[in-house]
Amino acid sequence: MRIVLGIEYDGSAFFGWQWQEGGLRTVQDAVQKAASNVANHSVTVICTGRTDTGVHALEQVVHFDTQAERSHHSWLLGINANLPDDVRVIWVQEAVGDFHARYSAIARFYRYIILNRPTRSALQRDRVTWCHQHLDAVRMHQAAQNLVGSHDFTSYRALKCQSVSPMRKMYFVEVYRQNEQVIMDISANAFLHHMVRNIAGVLMSIGTGDKPVRWAEELLASKNRQIGGVTASPHGLYLGGVFYPEKYGLAKHEIFNKLPANAQRFQHET
């Protein structure tokens, strides 16, 4: 039996998602131990996409295979009872057909939150990126539209990125202001290492007026990461959710109902 979980976590105190040698605290290790306790045997948890140190998740989707028979309610309560306070399973269901948390996904959605005010926040310090210079969200949004579509994103991936191909299809990038926050909502078929944070860094330079609007497009065309912008902090980055074909019967996170109109239209296309 294959069990599918929707998980949220605060990544502030984790060394990313993926299990690592040396006893480092990771989300995968915490979830695997909790699920194994409930299943009464060792399980391996597969995620949609690995998140880096300090990155959060509103809804990470994972699966594991088990011989144990438990009700959805028992899996939910049992796993959560064995998890630390900064990780929670928010839903459970059995996999349909050939479902695979990573390979069945057709798009990933991330949200990047920037606190844009003169002073840092005591309460949000690990959950937002801080920028004291005023950001022009309209300029940032305009620049970001040049990244939509299928492109070679070499200029926006980490130099040590191990992906075989830099080609990705960007479905939408929405940048908008909500009071003191500037928010970037972004979705693609998949993302390269540090891709979202590198895009955020470039757009922030454009938003402050340090760089022109055309800079985002010029970097894309250059296919050269070494002339790209600063990689933005991980603290403002959230894996917001995952799009799967409807045949798998996975409901989209409620956050999708709150996306700007242009982004909402994408839901119908998938």
| Marked catalytic residue, from 52, 98, 126, 210 | 52
Active site residue 29: no
The token pair that represents 105 in the structure block: 């996904």
Name the strand (E) or helix (H) holding 269. Answer: helix 261-269
CA distance 158 to 23: 26
At how many degrees (to 10) do helices 195-207 and 215-222 cross? 140
CA distance 168 to 150: 6
Entry field: residues in the chain: 270
Q: How close are the terminal C-alpha atoms of the chain, in Å?
A: 27
The radius of gyration computed from the CA coordinates of the chain, to the nearest angstrom, equals 19
Nearest Cα to Cα of residue 219 among 239, 201, 234, 207: 201
Q: What residues are annotated to the active site?
A: 52
